Amino acid sequence: MYSLADVHTIFTRDGLLAKTLPYYEHRQGQVDMSKAVAAAFRHQQHLIVEAGTGVGKTLAYLIPAMISGMKTVISTGTKNLQEQLFFKDIPYLQKHVSDKFQAVYMKGRNNYLCLKRLNLFRQQALFHDTDDVKIFEQIQGWAKKTKTGDRMEMTAMPENYGPWRDVCCTRETCTGGACEYYKDCFLFKMKRDADEADLVIVNHHLFFADLAIKGSGLGEVIPEYEAVIFDEAHLLESIATSYFSVSVNSYQAEELRDNITQELANSKIVSETIAKTLHTLGQTAQKFFRSFEKKEGGKYRLNDDQIDKKIYTITPDFANQLLMLASQLRGLKDPSEEIKFLANRVDEIKSNLELIVNRSEPGFVYWCEMQGPGTFLHASPIDIADDMRRNIFKQIPRIVLTSATLSSGHSFDFVKQRIGLDHPVELIVDSPFHYEEQAVLYLPQYMPEPNSRDFTAFVAAEVEKVLEKSKGRAFVLFTSYKNMDDVHNRLKHKIPYTVLKQGQKGRNALLEEFKKDVHSVLFATSSFWQGVDVQGEALSCVIIDKLPFASPNEPIVEARIEHLRNQDADPFMTYQVPSAVITLKQGLGRLIRSKRDTGILCLLDSRILTKQYGRIFLESLPRFPIVRDVNQIALKSPASDASASSKRKPPERRASNA
């Protein structure tokens, strides 16, 4: 049996992986990373590792975690990586390293059927069409025989099936051990399995959602652990921000009414007083949320000039009705645990409502978001560093953070400062790919700046020329829906290949169609910049319209810029540029996913060469040869032996004006 001290021997040229893993290649970077992870486990360290694409980082952290004998949580940013770990990497290690090793794959709550909510919905279901009815009938039959309650088993159910929201598990409606369905609850069956496992695989959303209710008894599902590995750790700040936030929304009064009515019926309690309060509360909630203005973009900050004065007059009524409802629930004779839970939930909504409208907590940004017919009010922390220190880094002795994109300008300073990671062990492991031979970076000579009214016309012209060179086979990635729609409308009848656009179908369906039609072209925005893995010639070109700066009008971004400015820092250079560098690395990283991939990278933003900060972007990217004329692009065959090319002298990295 291996120990942490000799874990690196598994990765040697004649080690276990070389003997058992088909097509295994010895990579020194993988060895270095495995040794660093093993040391972090042995010496109770916090470790941050940037591991370039192709390093093999999952095995580099999985094997030390497995050998350590410590209860470990692995948290990922995407479902794809969770599935790779659980269905591919772990079965291989169980076969060749230890068959006694147990792992559990936990998804976010809303992936699991809630038997209690199913029963409630069954009694009052309203459907928009007969297809919804048929699918719901299938769900009811499936509920009687499924062992997991995982919606993935319901292959006939569309991704966007509306009624699933009414029957899935949610934090807001979960009463944990007090629930009458607790013994049969799919979520807590999964928790019991996790209690027995050596390794628990979750995603960042579930990790932080669980952290928010840890110790409350309100349905936490991740068991106690000794170590955490955050893969795709570049996503931590944005996801953690949402879970350190508080919010209220226009659907909550209706949900309270349904849940309270059902619990009273279950307890055989008839209360006209509570029924009247619920009715009045529903009317007040509608009046309150309708007072918030709908604005272009759907998001805005709640400053004095953005809040209608009548909101301040409605809020006390809203809060008093919530207070009265909680008191009435607690005043019932022998209230059930579920009713006590709902009274606490009413208190929480009241507290959040008053905090947001009064903007009483310093260090938060208060903002409104419109999603379809719904209105959501948020209070989000401007700086999560202290929250992360207090809740994670000071609590967990062994933490590994890794991603292919964590550094900016070859430094981790930006990420460390943003998430409160103090004095970690640091390691940057370069990709083993020969980027200088496998791809070119095309930066057109004559592009207007992105704020020019002619910008999208120039983008469309360049995209058309590049797609002719690549024969389609491309992602065209945009920083806004507006630019995507504009360029798509200009080109959809000019491109002689299948043209797909984000929004036409679900994300997975679009990707499957893109992979099947080798010459297809996909127009997309932010959700396709990361977590997408298309190997081979189906993806031979990635075109990006602009440097991916976050919109300074986004409420959280705007507040963070103001906060840094008030600290006499330069928000552009210390926040906006490093953040955009990491996002750009993610976007360009879609192209080269293996040693046999080749292709064209194209950035249509002239600022990378004309602005002083452009150098930071270029120096953070792999050493792609740069071309300025589209006629210089020659797409290499994906069948060429990239490894053999390493014997040749790499081309000089420079901007060619030929």
Where residue 482 falls among pLDDT bands split at 50, 70, 90? very high
Q: Percent of the chain beyond pLDDT 70?
A: 94
Average pLDDT score over residue span 541-556: 95
Task: List, by residue range, all CATH 1.20.120 domains of the chain.
Answer: 246-381
Residues 6+ apart with CB under 8 A from 397: 44, 226, 227
| Residue range(s) of every CATH 3.40.50.300 domain in the chain | 435-645
Structure confidence at residue 179 (pLDDT): 84
Looking at mean pLDDT, say which of 272-281, 291-300, 329-338 comes out highest.
272-281
Read off the DSSP letter of residue 199.
Answer: E
Model pLDDT, residue 637: 57
pLDDT at 130 over 60: yes
Q: Can you tell me the distance from the alpha carbon of 272 to that of 630, in angstroms, rounded to the nearest whole number?
A: 75
Mean pLDDT computed over 385-396: 96
HSE-up of 506 (CA within 13 Å, CB side)?
8
Q: Which residues contact 203 (CB under 8 A, 6 or more apart)?
A: 75, 76, 77, 78, 79, 82, 107, 108
* pLDDT of 55 above 50: yes
| Report for 49-63, 169-183, 283-297: range of highest mean pLDDT | 49-63
As a whole number of angstroms, the distance between CA 216 and CA 203 comes to 21
CB 556 within 8 A of CB 369: no
Residue 612 structure tokens: 């002083």
What is the dihedral sign for C-alpha 412, 415, 417, 423? negative
Query: In this predicted structure, what is the pLDDT of residue 244?
Result: 93
Using CA atoms, how far apart are residues 578 and 412, in angstroms rounded to an integer?
Answer: 10
What is the Cα–Cα distance from 526 to 548, expressed in whole angstroms? Answer: 9
Q: Return the structure tokens found at 639.
A: 């069948």
Q: Residue range 619-646: average pLDDT?
A: 72
- Mean pLDDT along residues 296-325: 86
Task: Give residue 298's pLDDT.
Answer: 85
Q: Which helix (H) or strand (E) holds 239?
A: helix 236-243
What is the second-level CATH architecture of the domain 246-381? Answer: Up-down Bundle (1.20)
Place of tokens 């080269």: 592
Q: Would you say 413 and 385 are in contact if contact means Cβ atoms under 8 Å apart? A: no
* Least trusted range by pLDDT, from 28-37, 399-408, 489-498, 500-509: 500-509
Return the CA Rg of the chain: 27
Alpha-carbon span 185 to 178, nearest angstrom: 12
Q: Is 264 helix (H, G, I), strand (E, B) or coil?
A: helix
pLDDT tens digits for 70-80? 999 999 998 88
The residues with which 427 forms a beta bridge, in sequence order, are: 49
CATH fold label, 4-102+384-429: Rossmann fold (3.40.50)
Residues near 156 by beta carbon (within 8 Å), at least 6 away in sequence? 135, 138
Beta-strand pair 439-442/626-627: parallel
Q: What are phi and psi of 366, to 5 degrees?
A: -110, 130
Helices (H), 359-454: 385-388, 413-419, 435-438
Distance CA 444, CA 320 (A): 62
Q: How confident is the model at residue 215 (pLDDT cuts 50, 70, 90)?
A: low
Q: What does the DSSP assignment read for 13-27?
A: TTSHHHHHSTT----
CA 573 remoteness from chain centre: 25
CATH of domain 435-645: 3.40.50.300
424-481 confidence digits (pLDDT tens): 999 999 999 999 999 999 999 999 999 999 999 999 999 999 999 999 999 999 999 9
Residues 6+ apart with CB under 8 A from 81: 58, 231, 232, 531
Beta bridge partners of 49: 402, 427
For the cut 80, the answer to whether the pLDDT of residue 656 exceeds it is no
Judge contact between 51 and 28, C-beta under 8 A. no
Give the separation between CA 123 and CA 137, rounded to whole angstroms: 13
Cβ(149)–Cβ(186) below 8 Å: yes
Q: How far is CA 627 from CA 197, 217, 307, 407, 600, in A?
A: 52, 59, 51, 25, 10
pLDDT bucket at 219, cuts 50 / 70 / 90: low
- What local confidence, expressed as pLDDT, does residue 639 receive? 44
Is residue 655 scored above 50 in pLDDT?
no
Pairwise CA distance, residues 282 & 275, whole Å = 11
> What are 93-124's pLDDT values in tens digits?
999 988 889 999 998 888 999 998 898 888 77
3-state secondary structure of 394: coil
- Is residue 229 pLDDT above 50, yes or no? yes
Determine what percent of the chain falls in helix, strand and coil, rounding each to the nearest 5: 50, 15, 40
Helix boundaries (H) for 246-299: 252-266, 272-290
Q: 611: Cβ–Cβ under 8 A, 6 or more apart, which residues? A: none
- Two tokens at 41? 């486990």
Q: Where are the beta strands (DSSP E) in 180-223?
A: 199-203
pLDDT at 5 over 70: yes
What per-residue confidence (pLDDT) applies to 636?
62
Q: What is the dihedral of CA 300, 306, 310, 313, to 10 degrees?
A: 80
Query: Which whole-number Å values give the CA distances from 546 to 48, 448, 459, 629, 633, in the listed order?
Result: 29, 11, 10, 18, 20
- pLDDT at residue 642, as a whole number: 39
- Output the six-digit token pair for 654: 């420079």
Residues 323, 307: Cα–Cα separation, whole Å: 23
Virtual torsion, Cα 615, 618, 621, 626, nearest 10 deg: -160
pTM as predicted: 0.90
Q: Does 337 or 584 have the greater pLDDT score? A: 584
List all residues 6 or more positions away from 592 whose beta carbon is below 8 Å from its beta carbon.
53, 433, 435, 438, 439, 598, 599
* Maximum Cα–Cα distance across the chain: 86
Cα–Cα distance between 570 and 132 in angstroms, integer?
53
Please state, rounded to an integer, the average pLDDT across all residues of the chain: 90
CA–chain centroid gap for 299, Å, is 20
Percent of the chain with pLDDT over 90: 68
Mean pLDDT of 273-280: 95
